[in-house]
Amino acid sequence: MATINYTISSVSSGLTWSGTFEVTTTSNQVKTEIPTSVTADSSAYTFTPDSSVGFKYYPDATLGHNYVTWRTYNGESQYPDSGSSFDVWSSNLYTAIVTNNITWAGLVGNSYSLNTTKHSLIYNYNAPYAPYFCMGGTIAFS
């Protein structure tokens, strides 16, 4: 097991926070190596993405807003109706993961700008509410 840390900072609105992704190995591509857990604020919020469809990505060719999401929901719908998700609205991160096939190890030491008009967030669909959310800023990996 390996821990990949992330930090969201310099946001234009919302919260800053940090957390972790627990992965089996850092040598696999991010889009194929589903984390065994995603945490925020020193495990104040933790969830386990679904092992088969726990990572999804959605391009928006019209507006140029792309996002990646890790989630517990095991359906194919873009809009879950239960569970938790970590949605990161970042065209740069989207390109690194989806187009350039970056590995977990490749994320380490890099940062990516977050969309200034869409909320990146951790969302609890069961409540529903977003305990962590922001617009703008960066997500950095270590």
pLDDT tens for each residue of 37-49 = 999 998 899 999 9
Separation in Å, CA 130 to CA 20, 25, 44, 86, 134: 17, 29, 13, 10, 10
pLDDT tens for each residue of 99-114 = 999 999 999 999 999 9
**Average pLDDT over the chain, rounded to whole?**
94
pLDDT for res 116: 94
* The pLDDT of residue 28 is above 90: yes
Q: Could you tell me the residue ranges of all domains in the chain?
A: 2-141
pLDDT for res 61: 65
Higher pLDDT, 106 or 57: 106
Cβ atoms < 10 Å from Cβ of 110: 15
Average pLDDT, integer, range 55-77:
84
